[in-house]
């Protein structure tokens, strides 16, 4: 049962028993960390990810049930097994109701302990070089994602805009039995209403004006693989009913078609909204919510996994620096400290934007705080006086042609300026931009969450 993955945390205030439990696990090939009480255990969990917590119930000043409740609040996906004496069975039942996986009655045989470990521990997840998860919260998240990846269960990923929901979705796909199949992503907010049904379900030749040939929809394109329905709560109610039927029957019928196509796909949906609240407001079907909410995963905001900030920043700096011909760029200690202090309302996407700005603006190979321009909420537009020239860093002059991210910056600036010229009217701005109002509303919400637009 040797496991080189995440360690098991043993929490026990009796030093002799703590040592015995740790020895049993280590002899079975497990990595182990230990704590003498609840407070110390929480400190360990704040520093590193673990695969399982095995804790005594009777401890002072923080007992096992109080520790369990703290873990459920801060690390909801982390499994906890409690050790208890026979006299405390009633408290063990209380603990099960509070979210414990199981409990071990003292005294227990080593075999019983090891069986619980095999049954409940999280699998090792940080074996993917495309994932950065130095923070315990991220480590536990990806461990749980790895576990659900082994199944075909529908997954609902929620979290603020920019937290990396598609990254988690792709991780689940890569570690599933469908990894050799296609990964098809569709943004439910970015497609005009008139094209949504045909885009999702496909169409036959002549099904509508302009349908000059038959076309498979996204569901068919994802056969034997994974379909990501991004920002599912942006889907119109009329289409939600049709989506529900497809998910229930596992077959799709093209627009203008008569023969259903049987589907063999795994569905992952995402939303940056509180879906239960959206259901309560009548904007999302309750039956569809329950159909999608088979395995819900909440992705923490970047500010809630602060140990990921610096590694992510270094990753983005290496990637964008290489594209711009500046591979030797590195962050100063002060810049890393400033990044860790920032609140990141736009999450990982905002962090990447800040690093991309720094690649352009840093005058030398060391990126200092000034080059990050943290908290920028409007386009950088310095003005030169009469007869003066603006100073442009040499690095910016040698930068590569615009990337897709640069074009998104230009689009964002154009949309915000058009909205301002329209006096804040989304309808008028959408007409001038040639953009459906629903798509414009979605983009404006993203800009607010990223800090580029004030309410």
Q: What are the tens digits of pLDDT across the range 6-21? A: 789 999 998 999 999 9
Q: Are 138 and 305 in contact (CB under 8 A)?
A: yes
pLDDT in tens, 210-266: 666 778 888 889 999 999 999 999 888 888 988 999 999 999 888 777 788 899 999
CATH code matching the domain that covers 136-300, chosen among 3.30.420.40, 3.90.550.10, 3.55.40.20, 3.40.50.300: 3.40.50.300
pLDDT at 47 over 70: yes
Residue 105, H or E segment: strand 102-105
Given a cut of 80, is residue 156 above it in pLDDT?
yes
Q: What is the pLDDT of residue 385?
A: 46
Q: How far apart are CA 224 and CA 261, in angstroms?
A: 13
Is 288 or 217 the better-scoring residue by pLDDT? 288
Q: What is the pLDDT of residue 339?
A: 95
Let me know if the fold of 8-120 is the same as that of 136-300. yes
Mean residue pLDDT of the chain comes to: 82
| pTM higher than 0.85 | no
Q: Once rounded to an integer, what is the mean pLDDT over residues 270-275?
A: 91
Residue closest to 50 by CA, chosen among 82, 9, 103, 80: 9
Check residue 209 and give its pLDDT.
63
Kindly report the CATH number that applies to the domain delimited by 304-379+395-449: 1.10.8.60
DSSP E strands in 141-216: the ranges are 155-158, 183-187, 202-203, 215-216
Local structure of residue 7 (DSSP, 8 states): P
314: pLDDT strictly greater than 50: yes
Which element (helix H / strand E) includes 298? strand 295-298
Domain boundaries, the chain: 8-120, 136-300, 304-379+395-449
Structure confidence at residue 392 (pLDDT): 40
Q: Which CATH architecture has domain 8-120?
A: 3-Layer(aba) Sandwich (3.40)
């Amino acid at each position: 049962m040797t496991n080189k993955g995440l360690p098991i945390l043993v929490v026990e205030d009796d030093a002799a028993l703590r040592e015995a439990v740790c020895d049993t696990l280590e002899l079975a090939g497990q990595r182990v960390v230990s704590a003498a009480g609840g407070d110390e255990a929480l400190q360990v969990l704040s520093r590193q990810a673990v695969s399982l917590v095995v804790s005594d119930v009777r401890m002072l000043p923080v007992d096992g049930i109080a520790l369990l409740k703290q873990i459920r609040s801060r690390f909801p996906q982390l499994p906890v097994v409690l050790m208890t004496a026979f006299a405390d069975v009633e408290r063990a039942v209380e603990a099960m109701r509070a979210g414990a996986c199981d409990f071990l009655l003292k005294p227990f045989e080593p075999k019983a302990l090891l069986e619980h470990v095999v049954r409940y521990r999280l699998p090792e997840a940080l074996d993917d070089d495309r994932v950065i998860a130095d923070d315990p919260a991220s480590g536990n998240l990806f461990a749980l994602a790895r576990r659900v990846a082994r199944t075909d269960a529908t997954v609902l990923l929620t979290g603020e805009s920019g937290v990396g929901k598609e990254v988690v979705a792709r991780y689940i796909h890569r570690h599933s039995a469908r990894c050799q199949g296609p990964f098809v992503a569709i943004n439910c907010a970015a497609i005009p209403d008139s094209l949504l049904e045909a885009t999702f379900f496909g169409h036959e030749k002549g099904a509508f004006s302009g349908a000059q040939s038959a076309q498979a929809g996204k569901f068919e394109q994802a056969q034997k693989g994974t379909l990501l329905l991004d920002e599912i709560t942006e889907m119109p109610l009329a289409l939600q009913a049709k989506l529900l039927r497809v998910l229930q029957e596992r077959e799709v019928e093209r627009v203008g078609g008569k023969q259903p196509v049987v589907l063999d796909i795994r569905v992952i949906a995402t939303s940056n909204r509180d879906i239960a609240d959206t259901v309560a407001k009548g904007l999302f079907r309750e039956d569809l919510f329950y159909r999608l909410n088979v395995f819900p995963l909440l992705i923490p905001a970047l500010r809630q996994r602060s140990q990921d900030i610096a590694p992510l920043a270094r990753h983005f700096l290496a990637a964008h620096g290489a594209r711009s011909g500046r591979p030797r760029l590195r962050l100063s200690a002060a810049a890393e400290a400033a990044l860790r202090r920032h609140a990141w309302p736009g999450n990982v996407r905002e962090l990447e934007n800040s690093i991309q700005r720094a690649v352009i603006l840093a005058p030398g190979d060391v990126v200092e705080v000034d080059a990050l321009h943290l908290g920028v909420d409007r386009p950088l537009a310095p003005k030169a006086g009469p007869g003066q020239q603006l100073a442009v860093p040499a690095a910016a002059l040698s930068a590569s042609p615009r990337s897709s991210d640069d074009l998104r910056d230009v689009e964002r600036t154009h949309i915000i300026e058009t909205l301002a010229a329209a006096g804040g009217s989304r309808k008028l701005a959408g007409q001038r931009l040639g953009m459906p109002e629903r798509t414009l509303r979605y983009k404006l919400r993203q800009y607010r969450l990223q800090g580029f637009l004030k309410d």
